[in-house]
Structure 1
């Protein structure tokens, strides 16, 4: 057994112990999902309040907070399955809250760069925020038409890991290249999903709007009123 597999197994044991403890409380998985959002919002606040003097410490704290939020992201689904609380709404709610968590983190970074008068990085973070949402949207919209659209690399776990790395190593200016990587790879992922969906749907019949059948012997409303008037001579 390698040390990496041993580490993974150890983390799995710890994670399962957390799931077992939460399952005993019969807590709703949706509450766990929402707690993850609250914690990520705390990380966003740390990003937003960082400045040129304390950003290394604030970014480090934000990274640790995001890791804590990630625990809730990992356990909510497991708790739902272990306590037989898996629902369609739960999957929907989890997806929506994840989007809010992503936006919160990037908004915190946007505030940080705005307070430092770094306009270019304000625009870059805004672009990353949009493309991150589009990565999720293209998959959701595609899967309303086809069975699956999981192509592309830059999904949410990868985005979160990169943000954590950027925050942990902010002292060496890692967050700036992280944002560039997110911008480029997220855009490539969106384009890949658009191309994949086109290839999967181009053989399907075009969607035609339903046209209601015309009513038999129908007359314009004005004509009907004109012909039915007792004071008007009939032609």
Structure 2
């Protein structure tokens, strides 16, 4: 998730576009779906072909739909649980596509297994980070914590993937993916610890209320 200041900046940036799309009759859900399809195509077509720079550019053209659809929904007064659910679910699709595309390339023709393995690790741990928060919130806990939020993971991955496509050593991306995997694992631990603490406080408070 973008931090508050970054989200405020992008909200101002995309508001004119959001108003224009709404005037044209485009629904926020349509933007969400089209954005996801664009990211998936960029990641699963360009990356497996070794076109890391152009794949990154293609993905970047669509990835900000994650902000644009939210701005549109707020302007239209249609923000709600359905939009939140769709957005969150398709975010997972986008993340999986990006890391899967890198995995296919580096474990295949890209012939750099360490990077491919770390891409798999980032994909799996990223899903676990998201699941931990979703499950915690479904149970009524506050779990919005951790050092590796989705937006940061995705931006860093795309930046270094694009740079490798321009000639930067692939080991730079390998190191970045390794750090992201560690940060994601730490985030899972932070969220588990947060929920455990809140659960313990809840159990402690229950006898006093009885």
* Counterpart Cα distance in 2 of 1:43 and 1:185: 25
Aligned mates of 1:93, 1:150 — CA distance in 2: 19
For 2:54 and 2:138, how far apart are their aligned partners in 1? Answer: 39
Is 1:111 equivalent to 2:104 in the alignment? yes
Match of 1:197 in 2: 195
Aligned 8 A contact 2:14 2:71 in 1: no
Equivalent residue pairs, number:
192
Judging by fraction of residues, say which structure has more helix. Answer: 2
- Deviation per CA, 1:79-105, whole angstroms, max 9, x where unpaired? 011112222111101100000000001
Give the secondary structure class of the aligned counterpart of 1:203. Answer: helix
Matched, 1:31 2:30: yes
Distance (Å, rounded) in 1 between the aligned partners of 2:96 and 2:174: 18
Cα distance per residue 1:124-183 (max 9 Å; x no partner): 211110000011110111112234211102111101111121123112223212211211
- Indicate the residue corresponding to 1:48 in structure 2: 48
- CA–CA distance in 2 between the matches of 1:150 and 1:97? 19
List gaps (5 residues or longer) in structure 1: 51-57, 207-235
1:4-83 equivalences in 2 (<5 Å): 13-44=12-43, 45-50=45-50, 58-83=51-76
SS at match of 1:204: helix
Q: Is residue 191 of structure 2 the alignment partner of residue 186 of structure 1?
A: no
Moved more, 23-32 or 93-102: 23-32
Task: Compute the TM-score of the two structures, normalised by the length of structure 2.
Answer: 0.84
1:172 corresponds, among 145, 168, 187, to 168
SS of residue in 2 equivalent to 1:169: helix
1:122 to partner: Cα distance: 2.5
Higher mean C-alpha deviation, range 11-20 or range 85-94: 11-20
* Contact preservation (8 Å) 2:28, 2:70: yes
Whether 1:153 and 2:147 are equivalent positions in the alignment is yes
Residues 152 and 188 in structure 1, CA contact (< 8 A), matched pair in contact too: yes
Higher RCO by CA contacts (8 Å cutoff, separation 6 or greater): 2
Q: What 5-or-longer segments of structure 2 have no aligned partner? A: 205-210
Say whether the 8 Å CA contact 2:141–2:198 is kept in structure 1. Answer: no
Larger radius of gyration: 1
Mean Cα deviation higher: 189-198 or 34-43: 34-43
CA root-mean-square deviation: 2.1
Query: Which residue is 2:208 aligned to?
Result: none
TM-score when normalising by structure 1: 0.76
Distance in 1, matches of 2:12 and 2:146, equals 30
